Structures are given as structure tokens and as C-alpha cells.
Amino acid sequence: MSYRCDQPDSTTLAANDGRAWVSRYAWGRDYHRILKKKLIRLGRWLAEQRPGAQWRACVDTAPILEREWAARAGLGWIGKNTLLLNREFGSELFLGILLTDQKLVPDGPLPEHCGTCTACLDACPTAAFPEPRVLDARRCVGYLTVEHRSTIPAEFRSGIGTMIAGCDICQEVCPWTQRAPADLHPEFAPEARRLRPQLEALEGLDEEGYAEWRKGSALSRIRYEQFRRNLGIARSNLTHSRK
Ligand code: B12
Ligand code: SF4
């Protein structure tokens, strides 16, 4: 499902306007829930068509390499930014999988259309792509701000800028994503409180306030301590950009 929204890209916004950047995947409602519900409906439909069919809906958290299966199923190709990319919808897509014991006729894989483009590799602020289609997750802002639990190594801090939860840069610079249609699914419409929030307002949130701010979104993996750590880095980068 596409979560592309018609909002300015992080790369086009002033770095010193006092605002933080929350990644696009977390602007609207939690995709895990939305996709899972749709897959469950699909699974029930399948069981009606093929009585006795076994199925299981997986979104993100199952030990399945979703991009690889999506590419094999003909949904797109793996871009140099390592994400599943589609000529029509770009790569701002959430993936989900319905496992089943039924034999279905698969679509064939699609050819890749990255060509000589290297926009995503060149734009990565922490140089996280040692080569096309290889991500060093330890350097990825998506990993550092969301998954990494302790102090963020100094070498990555300036690259993080004011990004406090995930990163969109390797997708926003992609020509396929730039021309993809936006706002296809109202479920993912941005909630004002997570769209370019004022850093100062976030700094004033206590643990309860933070829980309220992220409520209903896919940000539950960021604990309060990580959130404070990320705000500290964003504040420091903002202060330096104003000097
Ligand atoms: C772990 C993880 C991360 C990690 C590591 C990312 C990575 N590139 O591996 C971190 C935290 C960095 C991350 C970041 C992001 N992620 Co993430 N992530 C995952 C997750 C949960 C598992 C991926 C994984 O296992 N990686 C670990 C290793 C094994 O993968 P790999 O080395 O790249 O392996 C590839 C090939 O080598 C090959 N391969 C490897 N082993 C094998 C074995 C066999 C048998 C075969 C055939 C192939 C094969 O296939 C793999 C996929 O291409 C998936 C959901 C899922 N269950 O798939 C989402 C997922 C990939 N993430 C997603 C998203 C949206 C993001 C972010 C954009 C979030 C953000 N805004 O910050 C960033 C993008 C960063 C980037 N450019 O990749 C989406 C991508 C959608 C898409 N269009 O592709 C997914 C699919 C979640 C979802 N359900 O929608 N993510
Ligand atoms: S920015 Fe260019 S190289 Fe990167 S995924 Fe998009 S088309 Fe491929």
C-alpha cells in the first residue's frame, strides 16, 4: 500500500526553521494494523474460494524477507536504495504477505529500472550504502533513530540533522517516487501533530505526553529515552545550523 503524501520532501525544507522531521511512514495510522486487517479479509476470501485453505497474514514482524518475495511476485524491483520499487507507485510502499498452502499462479518478476541513476546512494547523509542494493544498517538513520538503543556514535550525528524518527531521503530523491501518485489511502493521511512538529513543543513532552503524541502511529518502537536522545541530537544540529 502506498503511503506517498503530497507534502514537501525533507530535502527541500529549511534546516533551521525550528522543526523536527518525523519519517513519512509514521505520519498517519499504524500500517501494521491497517495492512493486517486487509490481509485477513483477503485470507477469509481465499478460504471461501478454496474451502480448507490455510493462510496466515504477515506484516513486517514475521521472519520473512518481504521485499524479496514482493519482487518475485512481480510487484516491482529492488532499487539501489534496497527498497521494493514500482514504476507507478515509487517505493513509499508498505508491504504485507499472505502465506498460504494453496498453489496459485504467480506473476513473473519485473525488469529493474534504476539504470545509471545513483541519486539515493549519493544523497544518503550517513553514507549507509557501501554499494548499490547493499545497506549498512548500522549507519542508516532509520536504524539509528528507531532501533539503536544506546548513544548514537558521534560520526553519524550531523548527518541525522533534525530527523528524530526514521529517514526518507533515499526515497524522496528517487525519480520514480517523486512522480508517484500521492494520497491514495486516506488511512495514511498525516496527523498534524507528527507533521513537521516544532522541536521545542516536543522537548516539553513528558513520558505521558510522548505516549499521546505517538498514539496510533507506527512509532511504538521508539522508547521515551530514545526519543529524548534523538531530540538532543536534533537540537544540537539546529543550533549549529543557525551559527
Ligand atoms: C530490519 C528492517 C530494517 C532495518 C534494516 C534494513 C535492511 N535494508 O535490511 C532498518 C532499521 C535499517 C530499516 C530501515 C528502513 N525500513 Co525496514 N525493514 C526491516 C524488516 C523488518 C526486515 C528486513 C531484513 O530482514 N533485513 C535484513 C537482511 C537479511 O536483509 P538484506 O541483507 O537487505 O537482504 C536482501 C537480499 O540480500 C536478499 N536476501 C538475503 N537473504 C536472502 C535469502 C534468500 C533465500 C533470498 C531468496 C534472498 C535473500 O533479499 C533481501 C531483501 O532484498 C523489513 C520487513 C520484513 N519482514 O521484510 C522492513 C522493511 C524492509 N522496511 C521498510 C521501510 C519502509 C524502511 C524505512 C524506509 C523506514 C524509514 N523511513 O526509516 C527504512 C529504509 C532504509 C533502507 N534504505 O533500506 C519496508 C520497505 C518497503 C519497500 N518498499 O521495500 C519493509 C518491507 C517493512 C514493510 N512491511 O513495509 N528496516
Ligand atoms: S534513486 Fe535512482 S538508483 Fe535509487 S532506487 Fe531510485 S531509481 Fe534506483
Q: How close is the Cα of 234 to the center of ligand 2, in Å?
A: 27
Q: Are 62 and 97 in contact (CB under 8 A)?
A: yes
Indicate whether residue 114 lines ligand 1 (CB < 6 A): no
Q: Are 25 and 218 in contact (CB under 8 A)?
A: yes
Q: Which residue's C-alpha comes closest to atom 5 of ligand 1? A: 137
Tell me the three cell numbers of residue 239: 543550533
Q: Which residue's C-alpha comes closest to atom 46 of ligand 1? A: 68
Q: How close is the Cα of 90 to the center of ligand 2, in Å?
A: 10
Indicate whether 61 pLDDT > 70.
yes
pLDDT at 106: 85
Q: Which residue's C-alpha comes closest to atom 1 of ligand 2? A: 174
Indicate whether 239 pLDDT > 70.
yes
| Cα separations in angstroms, 44 against 15, 99, 104 | 48, 12, 16
Ligand 2: list residues with CB < 6 Å.
79-81, 85, 114, 117-120, 173-176
Q: How far apart are CA 171 and CA 126, in angstroms?
A: 15
pLDDT digit string (tens) for 15-35? 778 999 999 999 999 999 999
pLDDT at 243: 60
Instruction: Give the global pTM.
Output: 0.94
Amino acid at 147: E
Work out the mean pLDDT of the chain and round it to a whole number. 96
Indicate whether residue 166 lines ligand 1 (CB < 6 A): yes
Q: Which atom of ligand 2 is nearest to the CA of 119?
A: 1
Indicate whether residue 95 lines ligand 1 (CB < 6 A): yes
Q: How close is the Cα of 135 to the center of ligand 2, in Å?
A: 14
Residues 6 or more apart whose Cβ sits within 8 Å of residue 239: none
pLDDT at 14: 76
Question: What's the half-sphere exposure (Cβ side, CA atoms, 13 Å) at 163?
Answer: 28
Indicate whether residue 93 lines ligand 1 (CB < 6 A): yes
Q: Which atom of ligand 2 is nearest to the CA of 113?
A: 7
pLDDT digit string (tens) for 161-213? 999 999 999 999 999 999 999 999 999 999 999 999 999 999 999 999 999 99
Indicate whether residue 20 lines ligand 1 (CB < 6 A): no
Domains in the chain: boundaries: 10-30+117-242, 32-100
Quickly state the pLDDT bin for 73 (edges 50, 70, 90): very high
Q: How close is the Cα of 223 to the center of ligand 2, in Å?
A: 32
Q: How far apart are CA 145 and CA 181, in angstroms?
A: 28
pLDDT at 27: 97
Quickly state the pLDDT bin for 242 (edges 50, 70, 90): low
pLDDT digit string (tens) for 98-146? 999 999 998 889 999 999 999 999 999 999 999 999 999 999 999 999 9
Q: Are 129 and 120 in contact (CB under 8 A)?
A: yes
**Nearest alpha carbon to residue 81 among 214, 211, 170:** 170
Q: How close is the Cα of 67 to the center of ligand 1, in Å?
A: 7
Active centre residues (catalytic): 60
